[in-house]
Amino acid sequence: MLLLHLHPKAVPEEALVFRRTFGLGGIAVVLFLLLAVSGALLLFGYEPSPERAYGSVREIVDQTPFGAFIRNAHHWAANGLLLVALLHLLRVLFSGAYDPPRRANWIVGLALLLLVMASNFTGYLLPWDQLAYWAVTIATGMLEYVPLVGGSLLRAARGGAEVGSKTLALFFVLHVAILPIALFVLTSFHFWLVRKAGGVILPREAGASRRTMVPTSPHLVAREGPVALVTVATVLVVAALVEAPLLAQANPGMSPNPAKAPWYFMGFQELLLHLHPAFAVLVVPLLLAGLLVALPYLRHGEAPSGAYFQSPAGGRSALSATVLALVAVPAWVLVEESARRTPPWLPFLPQAVRAGLIPVLLICTVHAGVYLLARRLFGASRLEALQAVVTFVVVALVVLTVTGSLFRGQGMALTWPWALAGSR
């Protein structure tokens, strides 16, 4: 019944086609519910103090019936939710569903993404093992590079100078109370805005007035049900087969080598190896966030077609941007890696200019080039050229994340993933 209240009585028949949304928003909701249930069960055993956190997780895993299974389900559903939210963002992005009348919902969606990331990150620390402790130390440590206010930001994020009992208490309250409540409230608002915009975006050609409407029940519900069941089944099967990581108890005196941030911050940790720190942790993330927030406000003079990539020209532009990023970003990483062993170029310039301003200006030039190439070479519209630029950014970030996560070994030197696995 509750499900039906979330939906209108009837929906356009075209909205039922799976590839319209790939069910991603719905899958995110199911994962959120799974997280709430498994998280509530974990709370029966978990104790949020540095002395007891690790031991209590060990007891859940080793001594509690189904404890390991519930912890695994929570862990994989949490990572799945972040991945699904990112894919949902891409679906919305490439169908152009961020423009009015969905502009406000795009912004709400971005806030939801931040909340999901924050939930993941605060949960990361709770087991208080080496992985948790050092990943949070590295990720919060990046804040120190923010000019002027870095130190204060770092202390605010950790609840003190070091990751310790205050950090654990802060992360625990955020993770089990504040963030879930905020997620619940904002998700409800998100659904309301979907309805207010008249449902999901549909291809224009069919003409809104000629759309055939069908009753939500059974048509839409009969499609959502199986997607929800497959989602739950997938999480449970993965939870039964793959253990969530749990290393030795946190040891603030012994950092693992390499010490890495969680995978969703790895792209920025990788950037730290190439750019001046203030640019890697402040300027580039701000430019990225600015681009995502500004997207629905950029005037391109046309309504989105509702089709993926708008038209074949849009598709070709996005594909070319993908290929370009797949070639250019690894090449940049390799050139930078060999340059680390040679004296710096333009040594008379301050490091912020040499390794910050100049590379960031070059990166912006490449993006302008992608825009112009899409317009001139493929005859893309302004909207399509803009989407090609965002595609380049997304693929570049994925390449940096994969490089940092899989191809960085001891001392963050480039290495093959199998060598990394062997050294663990």
Write out the residues near ligand HEM by the rule CB under 6 A: 21, 24-26, 28-29, 85, 88-89, 92, 95, 97-98, 102, 105-106, 109-110, 112-113, 116, 187, 190, 194, 197, 200-201
Nearer to ligand HEM, 24 or 136 (CB): 24
Distance separating alpha carbons of residues 376 and 267, to the nearest angstrom? 31
Nearer to ligand HEM, 104 or 357 (CB): 104
Nearer to ligand HEM, 84 or 250 (CB): 84
Distance separating alpha carbons of residues 289 and 272, to the nearest angstrom? 18
Q: What is the smallest separation between the CB atom of 264 and ligand HEM, expressed in angstroms?
A: 13
Nearer to ligand HEM, 97 or 389 (CB): 97
Nearer to ligand HEM, 157 or 292 (CB): 292
Q: What is the smallest separation between the CB atom of 134 and ligand HEM, expressed in angstroms?
A: 28
Which helix H or strand E contains 213, and what residues bound it? strand 213-215
Q: What is the smallest separation between the CB atom of 385 and ligand HEM, expressed in angstroms?
A: 21
Beta-bridge mates of residue 247: none
Whether the Cβ atoms of residue 120 and residue 80 lie closer than 8 Å to each other: no
Residue 216, SS3 per DSSP: helix
Beta-bridge mates of residue 10: 215
Q: What is the smallest separation between the CB atom of 95 and ligand HEM, expressed in angstroms?
A: 6
Whether the Cβ atoms of residue 320 and residue 127 lie closer than 8 Å to each other: no
Cis peptide before 258 (omega within 30 of 0): yes
Which sign, positive or negative, has the C-alpha torsion 48, 49, 53, 59? Answer: negative
Nearer to ligand HEM, 98 or 378 (CB): 98
Nearest Cα residue to 397 out of 308, 309, 312, 333: 333
Q: What is the smallest separation between the CB atom of 6 and ligand HEM, expressed in angstroms?
A: 8
Q: What is the smallest separation between the CB atom of 114 and ligand HEM, expressed in angstroms?
A: 9
Distance separating alpha carbons of residues 359 and 341, to the nearest angstrom? 18
